[in-house]
Structure 1
Amino acid sequence: MRDQSMMNHPPLDPERFDAITSGPEKLWGLPAISKALGVSVDTVRRWARHGRAPIYRPDGERYFALRSELNAWLRGMR
């Protein structure tokens, strides 16, 4: 059974694919991560808090994610 939060995830269209696959490898901050994934900042914060996505907050302040890990995570959601 799929996680309920994943069911609200937008489809991976060409624009989202380009956003997640182009640009710097390390994404700093919730706005950059949410833009790359095509979801709201609140959704990214919730996924990070519950460990649903490879989003980190090592210093307890600023979030970051690696584009390659997000790509692998998105591929694994199918």
Structure 2
Amino acid sequence: MHILVTGGAGYIGSHTVKELVKAGHQVTVLDNLSKGWRAAVTKARLVKGELTSQRLLCELLQTGKINAVMHFAASSLVG
């Protein structure tokens, strides 16, 4: 299954991505890297961009053959 993970370079998203890859899924991460880390995404395709970009999102969904989306993108303060 090909899964798009938004916010996949953040803490929760990156751990989810690792488990999805370990389970044999193809994963594409969409993250603007404002709070996430490129180094957290090692085994999946990383697309740097904004979730609010309708053009980018449509392109990923239409040409990427995405089967599912997991949404973890957020602006939050922890601590």
TM-score under structure 1 normalisation?
Answer: 0.28
Relative to total residues, which structure has the larger helix share, 1 or 2? 1
- Considering fraction of residues, name the structure with more strand: 2
Higher relative contact order (CA 8 A, sep 6+): 2
